[in-house]
Chains A and B, each alone.
Chain A
Amino acid sequence: MIALRHITKRFRDGERQVEVLRDLELTVPRGTFTAVVGASGSGKSTLLYVAGALDADYDGEAVVAGKDLKALSARERAAFRNASVGFVFQSFNLLPALPAVENTMLPGLFVPPGSKAPSLGQLRGRALEALDRVGLADKAARLPGRLSGGERQRVAIARALLSRPAVLLADEPTGNLDAVSGEAVIQLFSAMVRDGVTVLVVTHEERVSAAAGQVLHLEEGRLR
């Protein structure tokens, strides 16, 4: 589950301080699908980076997948992202030079020392499985540039699934997709929720929120 308490995030803009999140509270119960809707610039991405331990510079308390993020070192945050979080972005964020299967394998390369690391062969097998689950087994060898937007986003989802994370965080996952591809992505999220994954999607599109169990609105740094 995701529990954010009294989260305040400020950006320094020259002399001025801009408060993007203001004493924000958020609870996403385990195995549920929550959508946060807000206008562009309202702080949705900022919220997601806090929950995903990409950003550690904020006030308040964040407990995600059983970890108090404030208590983690930079190295532990990386291990946390590797093991417990799957990210999906509007712009897919695939490495353009790597074929789909290599992109999908990436999280397996950063398994921290101490935990059991799969061999490259095992990793490839797991990546192909994940690609199969999103319906792209036959396009595993393709470079991202030779895939459609919807296919790229499904590769990104396969990559997010590789480490079987407890939490999936998606930032405008359908923003660059046509209606049909967007629907497929939402279907995949729903399937993950059924498997017990906690899903938090931030978006400004109503069609995503339709599939969510909880829809919250981000306005003036707070959720309502």
Chain B
Amino acid sequence: MRLRSLVHLATLNLRSDARGTVVNTAAACVGAAALVFFVALGMGVGQAARLMFPGDARLVEVVPGAVSLGAALGGGALDDAAVGRLRELPGVEGAWRRLSLRVPIAASRAPEGVRMNWPVGFTVQVPVVGVDAGLVASDLAPGGKFVDPPAGQAIPVLASRRLLEVYNKTIAPAWNLRRLPPGLDLVGLQIPVQVGFSIIPLKTEDKVYDARLALAGLSDRVPLYSLAVPVETVRRLHVEYGKADAGYSSVVLEVGRPDDVPAVASAVRRMGFAVDEGERAIAERVGLAITVTAGALALLALLMTALAALAIAQSLSASVRGRTRDIAILQSLGATAGDVRALVLAEAGLVGLAGGVVGVGIAWAAARGVDAAAIGLLPDFPFRPTTFFLFPPWIFALGVGVSAAAALLGALAPAALAARVDPARAIS
């Protein structure tokens, strides 16, 4: 039997049993809608979470080991020799130093060129960390340089990309300050600061002078509440203010493949250093929680699809039993057992396809509805996504495919039942 004939006859049969067709299509559509909705939700929330917690699975943050133990083993301090050894570890592609500035820096005026209602007499302490340029190279604005500048010139700084979002969504509204424009528009912004000044009088150094920081870019590799400057700048200031450098605050290792991270981490621990799981652990835990939740919901949806397949199997079996005479008539006209089986499968397949298309449409509409409701109901929070759903093209194929496959699966037994009809018995 040709496909064209098969579809023709299957369509006629479906049309003649409009009620059964609608019920079966509805069953197929519920499963497909739930599956697509939950998978899209899982991916959408996952993406939002990655924006919120941009943990880089390939970074390992090495911090000095426990002091006493480190001293006893002659290790512990993260000096240049240690950085060299860390860089040589198998699997490590880069080792980037971080050094916290121990000279206070404070800002008491608004950045130049930004119309901001900076409160009078308001001074913010600016935590500064020195980092290797290599760590943040990809986050620099085009043409930007991240090196210690000659005396008198503005010091390049990188801010946390998330700090801007947090500032705009929570700090600015709460303190009634103006919001800042998006990322790249801020690059080049000059912030006047006082080097050596602390809002805690005891900590203010003897020497205080004016300097400027120039924003060179935004980076996820900069700690949330600090500004990053070139590590050489920090060392220069430490020398200037007579602060001893016992070693770096931390060293960030970039590992070639995420799978190698555990091996690198244990090698680091064997060297007498510790690994700060901090951000990456959070990101991993959040990612895992989302994957597990989305997986459970998708599983539930698959279960619904399986139930739909059972419902279709049930109703198709009843329909086949009620049609044994019609089947025998088709056999008398030349239908083979295979034709009869194919006909039942085609009917189910068409129902599954139709249910899948409708289900995907419902899922998409429901997602739009949830997004619209969320915009109305949820307050503006940092990294609030514009949508909680992600609909890559393949998700539509998934919905329709799973629905059709489930319907076909449900039709297997009824189709076999139909193919077993004995025309000589059933026709009279």
Contact surface of A with B, Cβ cutoff 8 Å: 45, 49, 52, 54-55, 74-75, 78-79, 81-83, 87, 89, 93-95, 97-98, 102, 106-113, 117, 119-120, 159, 163, 171
Chain B CB within 10 Å, residue with most, of A109, A112, A113, A171: A109
Looking at the complex, which one of B5, B16, B423 makes contact with A110 (CB distance below 8 Å)? Answer: B5
Please, how many angstroms separate the alpha-carbon atoms of A83 and B333 in the complex? Answer: 9
Using CB atoms, name the residue of chain A closest to B5.
Answer: A109
CB distance from A191 to the nearest CB of B (A): 22
Interface SS of B by simple majority: helix
Taking a contact as CB atoms under 8 Å apart, the answer to whether A74 and B337 are in contact is: yes
Using CB atoms, name the residue of chain B closest to A107.
Answer: B333
Known interface pairs A52-B332, A81-B333, A93-B329; A98-B5 also in contact (CB < 8 Å): no
- Scoring B residues 313 to 345 as 1 if CB is less than 8 Å from chain A, else 0, what string do you get? 000000000000110011111111111000000
Please, how many angstroms separate the alpha-carbon atoms of A129 and B229 in the complex? Answer: 90
* B424 at the binding interface (Cβ < 8 Å): yes
Looking at the complex, which one of A45, A94, A107, A120 makes contact with B334 (CB distance below 8 Å)? Answer: A107
CB distance from B319 to the nearest CB of A (A): 12
Taking a contact as CB atoms under 8 Å apart, the answer to whether B329 and A49 are in contact is: no
Closest 7 CB pairs between A and B? A82-B334, A97-B16, A110-B334, A109-B5, A55-B424, A78-B336, A49-B424
Residues of A contacting B13 with CB < 8 Å? 97
Using CB atoms, name the residue of chain B closest to A119.
Answer: B4
Using CB atoms, name the residue of chain A closest to B2.
Answer: A117
Residues of A contacting B15 with CB < 8 Å? 97
Q: B residues 1-38 with Cβ under 8 Å of A?
A: 1-2, 4-5, 8-9, 12-13, 15-17
Taking a contact as CB atoms under 8 Å apart, the answer to whether A117 and B326 are in contact is: no
Using CB atoms, name the residue of chain A closest to B1.
Answer: A110
* B176 at the binding interface (Cβ < 8 Å): no
Known interface pairs A97-B13, A110-B339; A82-B333 also in contact (CB < 8 Å): yes
Residue contacts A-B, CB under 8 angstroms, 5 given: A54-B424, A89-B428, A93-B332, A97-B13, A110-B5
* B297 at the binding interface (Cβ < 8 Å): no
Taking a contact as CB atoms under 8 Å apart, the answer to whether A83 and B334 are in contact is: yes
Looking at the complex, which one of B9, B16, B335, B427 makes contact with A78 (CB distance below 8 Å)? Answer: B335
Using CB atoms, name the residue of chain A closest to B331.
Answer: A78
Looking at the complex, which one of A97, A106, A119, A171 makes contact with B333 (CB distance below 8 Å)? Answer: A106
Residues of B contacting A94 with CB < 8 Å? 329
Residues of B contacting A107 with CB < 8 Å? 333-334
Please, how many angstroms separate the alpha-carbon atoms of A94 and B330 in the complex? Answer: 10
Please, how many angstroms separate the alpha-carbon atoms of A113 and B6 in the complex? Answer: 13
CB distance from A81 to the nearest CB of B (A): 5
Looking at the complex, which one of A54, A98, A102, A113 makes contact with B331 (CB distance below 8 Å)? Answer: A54
Residues of A contacting B2 with CB < 8 Å? 109, 111, 113, 117
Q: B residues 379-400 with Cβ under 8 Å of A?
A: none
Using CB atoms, name the residue of chain B closest to A106.
Answer: B333
Taking a contact as CB atoms under 8 Å apart, the answer to whether A45 and B332 are in contact is: no
Residues of B contacting A89 with CB < 8 Å? 427-428
Residues of A contacting B423 with CB < 8 Å? 54
CB distance from A123 to the nearest CB of B (A): 9
Please, how many angstroms separate the alpha-carbon atoms of A118 and B261 in the complex? Answer: 66
Please, how many angstroms separate the alpha-carbon atoms of A49 and B12 in the complex? Answer: 28
Residues of A contacting B1 with CB < 8 Å? 109-110
Please, how many angstroms separate the alpha-carbon atoms of A83 and B8 in the complex? Answer: 20
Taking a contact as CB atoms under 8 Å apart, the answer to whether B424 and A109 are in contact is: no
Please, how many angstroms separate the alpha-carbon atoms of A61 and B2 in the complex? Answer: 33
Please, how many angstroms separate the alpha-carbon atoms of A107 and B331 in the complex? Answer: 10
Residues of A contacting B428 with CB < 8 Å? 45, 89, 171
Residues of B contacting A87 with CB < 8 Å? 332-333
Using CB atoms, name the residue of chain B closest to A90.
Answer: B428
Using CB atoms, name the residue of chain B closest to A156.
Answer: B329
Residues of B contacting A119 with CB < 8 Å? 4
Taking a contact as CB atoms under 8 Å apart, the answer to whether B5 and A117 are in contact is: yes
CB distance from B59 to the nearest CB of A (A): 61
Known interface pairs A45-B428, A54-B424, A89-B427; A75-B333 also in contact (CB < 8 Å): no
Please, how many angstroms separate the alpha-carbon atoms of A22 and B9 in the complex? Answer: 40
Using CB atoms, name the residue of chain A closest to B332.
Answer: A87
Residues of A contacting B424 with CB < 8 Å? 49, 54-55
Please, how many angstroms separate the alpha-carbon atoms of A93 and B428 in the complex? Answer: 9
CB distance from A18 to the nearest CB of B (A): 15
Taking a contact as CB atoms under 8 Å apart, the answer to whether A112 and B427 are in contact is: no
Looking at the complex, which one of B4, B329, B334 makes contact with A95 (CB distance below 8 Å)? Answer: B329
Known interface pairs A54-B424, A117-B5; A110-B337 also in contact (CB < 8 Å): no
CB distance from B225 to the nearest CB of A (A): 72
Residues of A contacting B338 with CB < 8 Å? 75
Chain A CB within 10 Å, residue with most, of B4, B333, B336, B424: B333
Taking a contact as CB atoms under 8 Å apart, the answer to whether B330 and A106 are in contact is: yes
Taking a contact as CB atoms under 8 Å apart, the answer to whether B8 and A120 are in contact is: yes
Please, how many angstroms separate the alpha-carbon atoms of A75 and B330 in the complex? Answer: 14
Taking a contact as CB atoms under 8 Å apart, the answer to whether B333 and A110 are in contact is: yes
Looking at the complex, which one of B5, B326, B332, B336 makes contact with A54 (CB distance below 8 Å)? Answer: B332
Residues of A contacting B339 with CB < 8 Å? 78, 110
Please, how many angstroms separate the alpha-carbon atoms of A97 and B12 in the complex? Answer: 8
Looking at the complex, which one of A98, A110, A163 makes contact with B12 (CB distance below 8 Å)? Answer: A98
Please, how many angstroms separate the alpha-carbon atoms of A82 and B424 in the complex? Answer: 15
Known interface pairs A54-B423, A89-B427; A112-B334 also in contact (CB < 8 Å): yes
CB distance from A151 to the nearest CB of B (A): 18
Please, how many angstroms separate the alpha-carbon atoms of A221 and B334 in the complex? Answer: 28
Taking a contact as CB atoms under 8 Å apart, the answer to whether A102 and B12 are in contact is: yes
Residues of A contacting B336 with CB < 8 Å? 74-75, 78-79, 110, 112
Taking a contact as CB atoms under 8 Å apart, the answer to whether A120 and B4 are in contact is: yes
Residues of A contacting B9 with CB < 8 Å? 106, 109
Taking a contact as CB atoms under 8 Å apart, the answer to whether A159 and B16 are in contact is: no
